[in-house]
Amino acid sequence: MKPYSKLKMGSGSKIIIGSNAKLIADSAEFSSLDSTKTWEGIVMENSSHDTIKNCTFKNAKTALSFINAEGASYYRRIIQNNIFNVPSGGDYKVFMEKIITEY
């Protein structure tokens, strides 16, 4: 993504970053199209080399989810200096499942 990008998501939608993809975002804003509705967030499934810095997340039920398959690992993931505005009734700012790190 280009720095300072603004991504507006529809109600109930989510972004899925799979094992052959990576997300590089700096100073981006992720929010719902309708400020009274929530979106699901970004789901990283077995991804690596992701960089999410200085970003703002608004109205996401779970802003970032990191989910790895059994025995999978990720490396070089940078999550730094982000703002998470989780709405009332939201689940998590960051959720991690089956995480093994390698450098």
Domain ranges of the chain: 25-102
Specify burial of residue 6 (Cβ count, 10 A radius: 0-12, 13-18, 19+). Answer: exposed
Higher-pLDDT residue of 18, 90? 18
Mean pLDDT over each residue of the chain, to the nearest integer: 84
* Least confident segment among 23-32, 61-70, 71-80, 92-101: 92-101
pTM: predicted TM-score of the whole model, two decimal places = 0.83
At 96 the pLDDT is 61
29, amino acid identity: E
Higher-pLDDT residue of 7, 78? 7
Q: Tens of pLDDT along 19-59?
A: 878 899 999 999 999 999 999 999 988 877 889 999 999 99
CA–CA distance from 63 to each of 58, 102, 103 (Å)? 8, 23, 24
